[in-house]
């Protein structure tokens, strides 16, 4: 049956399924068509539209929009925010995963929930909490003002909001991965006389490198693309506290659509590169035949939570 139609059913691993469990061919066509229509409308067309709008007035205008001084300073600030927040959350993620995966202690599930908190908080509220702390009416706002330290509506505020938003990414990838791998190899290293750092760099790190990279690229994508939280703490000072997404908003609200889409296209490229690296990591893991647990831990973020489904089956 499957030889006759264009869309054969994927063969079951060991043997082909008997044909009487297969739905009629027209159902397959309808389902594939519906899925492709939905994805075209919500994925492909928007993706193409970003670049089409950016290049609408030609290559020269595009390059000019990106080389605009305000755009350059927005790109710089976005890079600064990512360069600070990604390593901080990387160190945190490794520490949290080490403590949670290698040891048993009370309150572990509470700690896991607390680490996830920033994911369930609206970006706007993520910005608001720093306004409440550092604003002029805030907890330490008056003290900061006396000492002439600017956090809110300045670069430190943007970095803090970015750190908060990207807080769980690396930890979320590493914890299930390291839990699935267990501690036997590390214990063997210990028995052979390795120090804690040697165990980490020679045994653990090589085992978790792909998961780590995965967490880092997702963390980086979010850090560079964050809008809501950064918008609340930025103050929107052109050329000073505007990140790339904020610059997109300002240009768009000024009806400077081509320039807005030019910067947006850089962010879209970043998203595509992120997805390409992610697919590459998944392909590498597939090639090296690593266990299902590893693969599950590498599912996109919120689903890493679903990981035990695979390991129990």
Partner 1 sequence: MTSLFKPRAAPTRVLPGFGLTLGFTIFYLALIVLIPLSAVFLKTFTMTWEAFWSAVTSARVMASYRLTFGASLIGALLNVVFGGIVAWVLVRYKFPGKRFIDALVDLPFALPTAVAGITLTALYSSNGWIGQYLEKAGIKVAFTPLGVVVALTFIGLPFVVRTVQPVLEDAERELEEAAASLGATPWQTFWRVILPNLVPALLTGFALAFARATGEYGSVIFIAGNMPMVSEITPLFIITKLEQYDYAGATAIAVVMLVVSFLLLLTINLLQAWTRKRAGKG
Q: How many whole angstroms separate alpha carbon 21 and alpha carbon 251?
A: 56
Task: In whole angstroms, give the CA distance from residue 21 to residue 271.
Answer: 40
- Nearer to partner 1 (CB atom), residue 115 or residue 158: 115
Nearer residue to partner 1 within complex by CB, 142 or 196 = 196
Provide the minimum distance between the beta carbon of 23 and partner 1 in the complex, in angstroms, as a whole number: 4
**Three-state secondary-structure class, residue 283:** helix
d(CA 173, CA 127): 24
Work out the number of other CB atoms within 10 angstroms of the CB of residue 66: 16
| CB of 264 vs partner 1, minimal distance in Å | 4
Q: How far is the CB of 206 from partner 1 (least distance, A)?
A: 16
Q: How far apart are CA 155 and CA 171, in angstroms?
A: 25
| Beta carbon of residue 143, minimum distance to partner 1 (angstroms, whole number) | 15
In angstroms, what is the minimal distance from the CB of 293 to partner 1? 12
247 vs 225: CA distance, rounded Å: 11
Half-sphere exposure of 186 (CA within 13 A, CB side): 20
What is Dmax (Cα atoms) for the chain?
79
d(Cα 307, Cα 193) in Å, to the nearest integer?
A: 34
88 versus 150: smaller Cβ distance to partner 1:
88
Q: Could you give the angle at which helices 69-102 and 155-165 cross, rounded to 10 degrees?
A: 40
Nearer to partner 1 (CB atom), residue 68 or residue 74: 74
Q: Find out whether 140 and 65 touch, Cβ atoms under 8 Å.
A: no
Nearest to 91 by CA among 195, 183, 192, 219: 219
Closer by beta carbon to partner 1, 69 or else 193? 193
How many residues are listed for the chain in this entry? 313
Q: How far is the CB of 199 from partner 1 (least distance, A)?
A: 7
- Rounded to a whole number of angstroms, the minimum distance from the CB of residue 65 to partner 1 is 14
Enumerate residues 6+ apart whose C-beta is below 8 A from 111. 96, 100
Q: Cα separations (Å) of 279 from 45, 156, 273?
A: 21, 34, 10
Q: Rounded to the nearest whole angstrom, what is the least distance from the CB of residue 66 to partner 1 in the complex?
A: 15
What's the min distance (Å) between Cβ of 239 and partner 1? 18
With respect to partner 1, which residue has the nearer C-beta, 96 or 285?
A: 96
Nearer to partner 1, 73 or 256 (CB): 256
C-alpha distance from residue 250 to each of 60, 74, 238, 239, 304 (Å):
21, 11, 9, 12, 35
């Amino acid at each position: 049956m499957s030889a006759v139609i264009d869309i054969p059913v994927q063969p079951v691993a060991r043997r082909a399924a008997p044909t009487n469990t297969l739905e009629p061919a027209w159902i397959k066509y309808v389902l594939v068509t519906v899925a492709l229509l939905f994805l075209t409308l919500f994925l492909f067309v928007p993706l193409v539209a970003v670049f089409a709008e950016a290049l609408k007035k030609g290559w020269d205008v595009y390059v000019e929009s990106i080389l605009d001084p305000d755009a350059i300073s927005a790109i710089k600030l976005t890079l600064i925010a990512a360069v600070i927040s990604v390593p901080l959350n990387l160190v945190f993620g490794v520490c949290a995963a080490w403590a949670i995966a290698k040891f048993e202690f009370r309150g572990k599930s509470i700690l896991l929930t607390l680490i996830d908190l920033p994911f369930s908080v609206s970006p706007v509220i993520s910005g608001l909490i720093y306004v409440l702390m550092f604003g002029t009416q805030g907890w330490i706002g008056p003290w900061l003002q006396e000492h002439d330290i600017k956090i809110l509506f300045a670069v430190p505020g943007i970095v803090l909001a970015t750190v908060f938003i990207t807080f769980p990414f690396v930890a979320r990838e590493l914890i299930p991965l390291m839990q699935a791998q267990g501690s036997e190899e590390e214990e063997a290293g210990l028995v052979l006389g390795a120090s804690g750092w040697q165990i980490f760099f020679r045994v653990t790190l090589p085992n978790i490198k792909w998961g780590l990279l995965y967490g880092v690229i997702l963390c980086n994508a979010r850090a560079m693309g964050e809008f809501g939280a950064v918008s609340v703490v930025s103050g929107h000072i052109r050329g000073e506290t505007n990140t790339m997404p904020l610059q997109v908003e300002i240009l768009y609200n000024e009806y400077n659509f081509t320039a807005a889409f030019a910067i947006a296209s850089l962010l879209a490229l970043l998203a595509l590169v992120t997805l390409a690296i992610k697919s590459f990591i998944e392909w590498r893991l597939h090639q090296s035949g690593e266990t299902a647990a590893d693969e599950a831990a590498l599912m996109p973020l919120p689903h890493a939570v679903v990981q035990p489904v695979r390991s129990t089956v």
